[in-house]
Amino acid sequence: MTPQLLDLLEAHLGRIEQDPEIRAVVITGSGEKAFCVGADLKARQQEFAAEEAGDPFAQRVEQVFGHIERLPRPVIAAVNGYCLGGGLELALTADLRIAAAEARFGFPEAKVGSMPGAGGTQRLPRLVGPARAKELMFLADHVDAETAFRLGLVNRVVPRAELMDATVELARTICQRAPLSIQAIKAAVNLSMDVPLAQGLAFERERFAALRTSEDRREGIAAFLEKREPQFVGR
């Protein structure tokens, strides 16, 4: 995790938002060893020594990760190897996570006198519950992909050789659904993590009502009645 990588991610996110033809996003690591293992501690030693208050790099990470989480497209993390520290925090910003059987997950920060600082303490409990989140962060050990699946940290585990095919197939299936529906569902579910039930229900009603008058809603009903596949246009 470097400033250059964050800039690259931000640039891609901007292009994705401007292209209505992009209906789903996949994030994965290069090679087979790691998805992402967070910041390079050796490279940042001088920065740590110079910082008196705050951490511009951590603030930048939080900004970019928040952008991923709010992206009005479904984001799938294909976890191909080690997914640790800031790398796991990156994966947590995705809507869905598919892991290779060899993948390993963990927050090692407590072993070096630190703590997750890019959303891990907030997003992980929402996914697996506070007690399990604390255990993972307190112990600072790795868990394998099957354990991550049982915890609810990942949606699916597949053989490494099948990871990208399985992820792309999932993305393509989602892309066959109505884009406005997917956007509304993502926004409503994300909001449910942060607001009281009554506010979340009000937001749901608004989005539900808006979809009723969309072209895609009319197309979906027509396709169902005519027993054909719908052709959604995102309007």
Give yes or no for a contact between 93 and 65, defined as CB atoms under 8 angstroms apart: yes
Domain-terminating residue out of 139, 158, 175 = 175
In this structure, the answer to whether residues 106 and 222 fall within a common structural domain is no
143 pLDDT exceeds 90? yes
112 pLDDT exceeds 60? yes
The H or E element that residue 98 is part of is strand 96-100
| pLDDT value at residue 134 | 97
| pLDDT value at residue 1 | 78
81 located within any domain: yes
Residues 94-108, mean pLDDT to the nearest whole number: 97
169 located within any domain: yes
235 located within any domain: no
Q: Would you please indicate which residues are annotated as catalytic (active-site) residues?
A: 89, 109
| pLDDT value at residue 158 | 98
| pLDDT value at residue 190 | 95
| pLDDT value at residue 56 | 84
Distances (CA, A) of 132 to 38, 51, 91, 136, 202: 21, 32, 17, 6, 31
Share of the chain above pLDDT 90, in %: 84
CATH number at residue 212: 1.10.12
30 pLDDT exceeds 90? no
88 pLDDT exceeds 80? yes
Flag the least confident range among 27-36, 91-100, 170-179.
27-36
Q: Is the dihedral of CA 216, 217, 223, 224 positive or negative?
A: positive
Give the type of residue at 151: L
Q: What digits encode the pLDDT tens for the residues 155-169? A: 999 999 999 999 999
| pLDDT value at residue 53 | 54
234 located within any domain: no
User: What is this structure's pTM?
Assistant: 0.90
In this structure, the answer to whether residues 143 and 33 fall within a common structural domain is yes
User: Domain limits at 202?
Assistant: 179-226
